[in-house]
Amino acid sequence: MEQQDLRSMDLAEMTSLLKELGQPAFRARQLFTWVHQKQVSQLAQMHNLGRQLLEQLEQRCQPTAFQLERKQVSADGTEKFLFRLADGNYIECVLMRYRGDLSKQRNTLCISSQVGCAMGCTFCATGQSGFVRNLTAGEIISQVYEVNRILQEEGDAMPVGNVVFMGMGEPLLNLSAVLKTISLLNDPQGQKMGIRRMTVSTCGVVPKLLELADQKLDVVLAVSLHAPNDKQRSSVMPVNRQYPLEQLMAACRYYQQQTGNRISFEYALITGFNDQPQHVQQLKQLLKGLDCHLNIIPVNPVANTAQFGRPDKKQVAAFVEALQQAGLKASVLEEKGTDIDGACGQLRGKVLREK
């Protein structure tokens, strides 16, 4: 019998499992508390379940197997973690510590939803490595639980309070596991993480974006835009050939109608590519009528992307000012971890090459 992953299970699934084992419903609530509130990783730590039940669970279940392979620490305090999964694959997550310099104090974790990525965006380290498989809900949420454990060991009293599904992979192509993770993190008997403290990113998989809209969740939506016209966007983001900007913008408007939430658009600024005055005007026309905010991100230098020049601070500031003068809400995204292979997929790629 294939063992079930406890960290992938919600309370209803645990209740069903415990019923099969002849246990009362309150045992399921105890189990859920151990797994999703106390975030324990070993059945032996669940001391109030009784020896007989623990033996039954050991035969049927196991928590997600996670092993910290490598950790990098930036000068700004950002930490990147490379975890090894049970099947030998690697995933990354990035802890960003905000301590009131430009924003409220919080620990934000950027987490992965897939091993690799099928989208093939040309300036993305993960996209260069190809797609391996989807992560389970247990593997996604374990990134939060394991980083919380590390924070506790380091004496940081502030657990992860914000989660961004913007690590390795396209979250909407693993939507069921992502939605389950959101539900588990939000559960009042678990981490009680506010739904508005979770951000789901997408490069523009239109059918799945419409599906997410119909969920009417109060999560933050971040759409990777990176170019204001189809020709340029298709040249760096292959997904645009299947779902061009007209379809993507229609899906964004539908999302906004369904949820009433403002949309964030991520825009990687590339010198001489998408930073000219005509691009400002194209963005103004493209985003007309949408309640949205543009996050301008100087492009991250990654392997095999020498053609993508990173603009200096003066160029970035001038572009943001031009956007604002055009009536668009825009700001420079506070960068973290650029000195530690901060872009998603870089550390995994380095370790795979070493091995």
Scan for tokens 């992979």, then name that residue. Answer: 169
Distance of CA 5 to the CA centre of its chain: 21
* Non-local CB neighbours of 255 within 8 Å, separated by 6+ positions: 209, 210, 212, 213, 221, 261, 263
The per-residue pLDDT for 43 is: 92
User: Reduced to 3 states, what is the DSSP secondary structure of residue 275?
Assistant: coil
pLDDT in tens, 258-305: 999 999 999 999 999 999 999 999 999 999 999 999 999 998 766 455
pLDDT in tens, 290-346: 999 999 999 876 645 556 788 989 999 999 999 999 999 999 986 665 655 555 555
Considering the segment(s) 4-62 as one domain, its CATH architecture is: Orthogonal Bundle (1.10)
> E-assigned strands of 240-291?
263-269
Q: Please provide residue 220's backbone torsions phi and psi, each rounded to the nearest 5 degrees.
A: -85, 130
The residues annotated with a catalytic role in the active site are 92, 344
What is the domain partition of the chain in residue ranges?
A: 4-62, 64-202, 216-333
User: Reduced to 3 states, what is the DSSP secondary structure of residue 330?
Assistant: strand
Considering the segment(s) 64-202 as one domain, its CATH architecture is: Alpha-Beta Barrel (3.20)
Distance CA 37, CA 275 (A): 46
Domain 216-333: state its class. alpha beta
pLDDT in tens, 92-149: 999 998 876 556 788 999 999 999 999 988 888 777 778 999 999 999 999 999 999 9
Whole-model pTM above 0.85?
yes
* Non-local CB neighbours of 101 within 8 Å, separated by 6+ positions: none
CB 275 within 8 A of CB 321: no
Same fold, 64-202 and 216-333: yes
pLDDT in tens, 49-104: 989 999 999 999 987 878 999 999 988 889 999 999 999 999 999 999 887 655 67
